Amino acid sequence: MCTLVHMGYGLLAAAIAAEVAGTTAMKYSEGFTRLWPSLITVAGYLLAFGLLAQTLKTLSVGTAYAIWAGVGTAAVAAIGMLFLDESTSLVKVLGIALVIAGVVVLNLGGAH
């Protein structure tokens, strides 16, 4: 069972990476008017949802979705600030830290 849960978390990490890549590419798609960023966006989201569906075979839907959404949101916000010249503030950094803390608390509270 433990191995299946670990595999579920690995699939979840891949789903998050695909979603973050798709969202980042969406920034460059200019409203889906540029071909390659648009295709990467669609592929990223298709892969993300496919991997999330596989994750749900071993993890509870509430936990998996909360981690997927929370970590994805924090990662995209950090990428925006670090690489896409979006504004950075103490409040934004604190918000990202709170999202990550929420995911950790959720896992400590019985994610298995």
Structure confidence by residue, pLDDT tens digits, 16-42: 999 999 999 999 999 999 999 999 999
Distances (CA, A) of 112 to 5, 63, 90: 7, 9, 33
Q: Find all residues with CB under 8 Å of 62, minimum gap 6, and list them.
A: none
Residue 32, pLDDT score: 97
Per-residue pLDDT reduced to its tens digit, 52-74: 999 999 999 988 999 999 999 99
